[in-house]
Amino acid sequence: MTTGTRLGRAPAHLLVPALLGLVFLLVPLAALVARTPFRGLPQRLTDPVVLDALWLSLWTATAAMAISLVVGLPLAWVLARVDFPGRSVVRVAVTVPLVLPPVVAGVALLSAFGRSGVIGAPLRDLGISIPYTSTAVVLAHVFVALPFFVVSVEGALRATSREYDEVAAALGAGRGRTFFRVTVPMALPGIVAGLVLGWARSLGEFGATITFAGNFPGITQTMPLAVYEALSTDPEAALTLSFIMLVASVLVLALLRERWFGEIAR
């Protein structure tokens, strides 16, 4: 706002497309809300199947982000800071799941972790079975959301200059201390953005989850799966469920924004 007044009015050739974009995003959401039969809302909100699905969605998406943070942050760091042969190939490989249709991602996960999969078969011999479990839901989420996180964080790491790493080293900080005390805090806005992006992607995940984890209430039925199931039998219920999911995710993001972005924006 302050820059707006100092630099003059925003030009129309930027404002018009910006408004178009905003309207395009908001109109379907507003329409969804407008069509939501609120009569059914109290009943749905007390339906244990819906609550299970909502809870499952929230915790699996969060768990997926925790895993993404643990493996994705170092991966992004390696891509951004370490020169090694084939780095561009690795970078492309990381982004492949972004273009993969989610159902195909689910089949890929089954090929790896399924009963006869490369990892799934030996695991099964040990008595561990991943498909049809909440673990499978988390893995599906990680698979589709990790690329978002890594791309976002790598961008943030590249934007923060390597010189700061050099300063920290000259001050005697080891690589670990430099990573946790300098690199990560400086890239924090990007890391948080990556987490939010990945979390939102997880929350909406459908294809990979239903293919890899199946659909069972309380165990693998996330909100999108519940919505889809309702859609084929009871579209009004589907709308109500979508509305609940929308509100829940907006609430969480708004809370995060207060807590995190407020801090980081300074």
Query: Which spans of this chain sit near other proteins (rule: CB under 8 A)?
Result: 31, 35, 37, 107, 110, 114-116, 131-132, 161, 163-164, 166-174, 177, 181-182, 185-186, 188, 210-211, 213-217, 220-221, 225, 228-236, 239, 266
Q: From its phi and psi, is residue 8 left (phi > 0), alpha (psi between -120 and 50) or beta?
A: left
Residue 10 beta carbon to other proteins: minimum distance, rounded to whole angstroms:
25
Question: Which residue, chain included where needed, has tokens 């630099």?
Answer: 7
Residue 13 beta carbon to other proteins: minimum distance, rounded to whole angstroms:
30
Residue nearer to other proteins on the CB measure, 154 or 165 = 165
Residue nearer to other proteins on the CB measure, 61 or 213 = 213
| Residue 168: strand, helix, or coil | helix
Residue 42 beta carbon to other proteins: minimum distance, rounded to whole angstroms:
15
The answer to whether 76 touches 238, Cβ cutoff 8 Å, is no
Rounded Cα–Cα distance for residues 155 and 174 (Å): 23
Nearest by Cα to 75 from 145, 134, 17, 154 = 154
Residue nearer to other proteins on the CB measure, 94 or 138 = 138
Residue nearer to other proteins on the CB measure, 21 or 37 = 37
Per-residue tokens: 194: 């990556």
The answer to whether 149 touches 65, Cβ cutoff 8 Å, is yes
Residue 15 beta carbon to other proteins: minimum distance, rounded to whole angstroms:
29
